[in-house]
């Protein structure tokens, strides 16, 4: 069985950094770890390095999710609904 992190390398989602001293300029690294349940990668954007974290450095912007009540009510208006697999969207 191939570890989940090895599946992400060919898809260029993650990359191995051999020596952090060779990286020039401003960089951001996102730590990862495995969970004990189903083997999956968990990215820790709230992990602190020094006095800051990736979550604090990025602009949050507006919420992209609509109100859940509106979504559920709109879903019931039509006889036919459409479903999509979003598993690759959020890894």
74 in a structural domain: no
Does 13 fall in a domain? yes
What's the rounded mean pLDDT across residues 38-66? Answer: 77
Domain count, the chain: 1
Flag whether 82 is in a domain: no
Q: Report if residue 55 sits inside a domain.
A: yes
Q: What is the pLDDT of residue 56?
A: 80
pTM of the predicted structure, to 2 decimals: 0.29
Per residue in 18-33, pLDDT (tens digit) is 666 666 777 776 666 6
Neighbours of 13 (CB within 10 A): 13
CA neighbor of 2 nearest in space, from 58, 53, 41: 41
Q: What is the extent of the structural domain holding 47? A: 4-59
């Amino acid at each position: 069985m191939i570890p989940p992190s090895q599946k992400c390398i060919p898809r260029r989602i993650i990359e191995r950094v051999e020596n952090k001293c060779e990286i020039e300029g401003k960089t951001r690294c996102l730590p990862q770890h495995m969970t004990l349940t189903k083997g999956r990668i968990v990215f820790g954007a709230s992990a602190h390095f020094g006095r800051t974290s990736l979550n604090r450095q990025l602009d949050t912007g507006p919420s992209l999710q609509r109100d859940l009540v509106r979504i559920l009510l709109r879903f019931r208006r039509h006889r036919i609904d459409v479903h999509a697999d979003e598993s690759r969207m959020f890894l």
